[in-house]
Amino acid sequence: MEKCVMKVEDQIKNLLGQKFEAKRVNSVVSHYISCIQKFEEGDWETSLTKAGKFIEAVIKLLWVFAGKELPEKQKEFKATIFAQKIITQVTTATISDDGIRLQIPRASIFVYDITSNRGGRHDSDEVNANEMDSSTVLPVCSWILAELFRFSAKNLMSIEETKKIIDSLTERRYPIFEEIDGRIYVDSKKFKSAPECSLLILYKIYPKRISKDTLINFLKRHNFKQSAVKFERLSSYLDIDENDNILLRATGRRKAEEILNKN
């Protein structure tokens, strides 16, 4: 899914840059893409952290767009307080579009409240709070960015082109990784080679080790034959102990992240 976002990243930045300060636009888009990446990797907590940073960047962008000055000290900036200020203090004469002036700040308060309090709802007997929160927060973040794009694209892009990009932003996204009863699966539509699947499975379970046999069994569930697994070709990425248990090295983690970013 992120591939679709990356294809239009420059276009989004260019369009938003027609209305908003470029530095703020870069920050908004960067945090949004990071939020998606971590969601697809199943890193719920980091995805929520990135979503919180995305909201902070959005509120700063709107505050500056309204002709206001940000506090000199970062600690004096509170996203929810400034979002409320946009709603109550910015007039239609300054920002006439209700989606930008009212709806985005309201949605931002909702998202930021979740991301700021995610640590207080953990209970081993309940559904994973971070996963549930991430699945709620990401679509709202996508909607916020789509609204900013809609606003910026007025009279600068055709309705058809605008709709295509907005659809790519708001389409439903799914994690790349899935774990069922301890078995790891990756999205086989995106990662079609045994070496890629091997590295991603090991990346997912890091810093734990798994045996060669376990990894081979995981790969068989992805319809790879045992002969497709060439451990010698992956040797520069792996540490294999005397019991044939495998740990992904730093070089392997870097390679796995390159694979994820490519897709």
**pLDDT confidence of residue 167:** 82
Residues 188, 107, single domain; the answer is no
pLDDT at 47 over 60: yes
Residues 140, 187, single domain; the answer is no
Confidence of residue 120 (pLDDT cuts 50, 70, 90): very low
Confidence of residue 55 (pLDDT cuts 50, 70, 90): very high
Which of 154, 170, 186 is the last residue before a domain boundary? 170
**pLDDT confidence of residue 10:** 84
**pLDDT confidence of residue 7:** 61
Residues 82, 17, single domain; the answer is yes
Angle of helix 22-40 versus helix 250-262 axis, rounded to 10? 110
Residues 44, 130, single domain; the answer is yes
Mean pLDDT across 56-79 = 94
121: containing domain: 2-170
pLDDT at 122 over 50: no
Question: Per residue in 148-174, pLDDT tens?
Answer: 999 999 888 888 888 888 887 877 777
Average pLDDT, the chain: 87
pLDDT at 233 over 80: yes
How many domains would you assign to the chain? 2
Residues 191, 157, single domain; the answer is no
Residues 156, 247, single domain; the answer is no
Which of 146, 170, 194 is the last residue before a domain boundary? 170
Residues 114, 158, single domain; the answer is yes
Residues 145, 72, single domain; the answer is yes
**pLDDT confidence of residue 227:** 80
SS3 content of the chain, % helix, strand, coil (to 5): 65, 5, 25
Residues 101, 212, single domain; the answer is no
**pLDDT confidence of residue 2:** 44
**pLDDT confidence of residue 261:** 75
pLDDT at 36 over 80: yes
Residues 125, 216, single domain; the answer is no
Residues 208, 158, single domain; the answer is no
Q: Residue 218: give its domain's CATH number.
A: 1.10.10
**pLDDT confidence of residue 259:** 84
Residues 117, 239, single domain; the answer is no
**pLDDT confidence of residue 121:** 46
Question: Per residue in 169-226, pLDDT tens?
Answer: 877 777 777 778 888 888 767 777 888 889 999 998 899 999 999 999 999 888 888 7
pLDDT at 64 over 90: yes
pLDDT at 100 over 50: yes
Which of 170, 198, 233 is the last residue before a domain boundary? 170
